[in-house]
Amino acid sequence: MRNPIVLARKALQIPRQAVVYADWVIVPSVKAPFADLGILQRVRVRFNSRRDLFSRAYRNASWGSQESGSGTGSELRATEVVRANLPVLLARYNIGVLLDAPCGDWNWMQHVDLSDVKYIGADVVPEVVKLNQQKHEDSNTSFFVADLTSDPLPHADAILCRDCFIHMSYQDISAMLSNFRRSGATWLLASTYPDAKKNRNQFTGRKWRPLNMQLPPFNFPLPVEMLSDNDDINPTQLAVWRLEDLPEFKSRL
C-alpha cells in the first residue's frame, strides 16, 4: 500500500520537503488543519533550528530591505518615531540596563541615544551578533548569541522585544515570555497591533503576521503606555507592560 503522506503530498502538490519547510510551501488553507498537529512543529524544529531559520533569512535578505538585514521595519525611515522617543521612555521608567531581545543588525539602534543606559543586545544569528560586536561594542554596549526561548538571560531593568513575536509560533512566544520572566526583568517593551481583531498561530520562521497582545491566547492587560512605532508599512505600537502583570499562557504549538 502507498504511504498516505506521499499520496496526500502528491494530491495537494506539496513538494517533498513540505514537512520540513511547512510554512513556506503549504498554502494557508491547507496549513491550518496541519498546524494543530503539534508533531509537525517538532519535526520542523528538529530539521531547522531557530538559528538556521533566521540565519537563512539574513543570508537571503528575505525581509526585502536593501538597508537592513532585519527587514523594512528596521530601516531608518520606519524607526523615526521610535528612535526619537525610546530614550525618553527609558528615562521615564528609570531603565539603567536594557536587554534588546532580539537586537537584529542594529541598523536603527546605532542612531539611538543610549548614553544613559547599559545596553545588552541578544540575537539567535551568530553572524549578526559577531558583526554587531565588531562594529558597535564598547564599555557600555555588548552583544551575545542567544536563543531567547531557552538560553539564560542577563538581568536587566527592561527587555525590548520589537518585531519578534510576529515571527514566532505561540509555543515559542510562551517559552520566550517564561524566559523573560526568569531573567527577573521588571518591564517588557514589546510590539503589538491594537487594531488586529484576531490572532493566528504560525510556524516560527521568516514569515510574520500582526499580533494583538491583548487578545487570546496572550490576553495581556492594558499596557501602562504605548509608543507609536510609526513604521509606515505596518503601523504598530511599542507597548510597555510590567512582566509580573502578564498572564501565563501555554500552547502545544
Ligand X SMILES: C[S@@+](CC[C@H](N)C(=O)[O-])C[C@H]1O[C@@H](n2cnc3c(N)ncnc32)[C@H](O)[C@@H]1O
Q: What is the distance between the terminal CA atoms of the chain, rounded to a whole angstrom?
A: 31
Q: Given the rule CB under 6 A, which of 21-29, 40-48, 156-164, 211-219 is the region that contacts ligand X?
A: 156-164
Between 148 and 227, CB nearer to ligand X: 148
- Going residue by residue from 82 to 121, which x/- string records binding to ligand X, judged by CB under 6 A? --------------------xxx-----------------
In the complex, the smallest distance separating the C-beta of residue 85 from ligand X, rounded to whole angstroms, is 14
Residue 195 cell numbers, joined:
487594531
Alpha-carbon span 91 to 101, nearest angstrom = 19
Tell me the window of 83-91, 157-165, 182-190, 227-235 that interacts with ligand X (CB under 6 A). 157-165
The Cβ of residue 155 has, within 10 Å, a number of other Cβ atoms equal to: 11
| Per-residue contact flags (x/-) with ligand X for residues 115 to 154, judged by CB under 6 A | --------xxx--------------------xxxx-----
96 vs 118: CA distance, rounded Å: 6
Count the helices and strands in the chain (H runs, E runs): 8, 7
Find the binding residues for ligand X in span 160-199 (CB under 6 A).
Answer: 162-164, 167
Stretch that binds ligand X, among 25-33, 34-42, 67-75, 240-248 (CB under 6 A): 67-75
Binding segment (CB under 6 A) for ligand X, from list 37-45, 158-166, 194-202, 216-224: 158-166
Residue 14 or 176 with smaller CB distance to ligand X: 176
Selection from 19, 85, 75 nearest residue 46 by Cα: 19
Minimum distance of ligand X from residue 104's CB (angstroms): 3
Place of cell 538556521: 52
Under 8 Å between Cβ of 34 and 8: no
Provide the minimum distance between the beta carbon of 151 and ligand X in the complex, in angstroms, as a whole number.
8
Comparing CB distances to ligand X, the nearer of 31 and 51 is: 51
Per-position DSSP letters for 77-130, written without gaps between them: GGGHHHHHHHHHHHHHTT-SEEEESS-TT-TTGGGS--TTSEEEEEES-HHHHH
Among 71, 205, 210, 223, binds ligand X (CB under 6 A): 71
Nearer to ligand X, 9 or 62 (CB): 62
SS3 240: strand
Distance between CA atoms of residues 25 and 71, nearest Å: 21
Which residues are near ligand X by CB under 6 A? 50, 54, 70-71, 74, 102-104, 123-125, 146-149, 162-164, 167
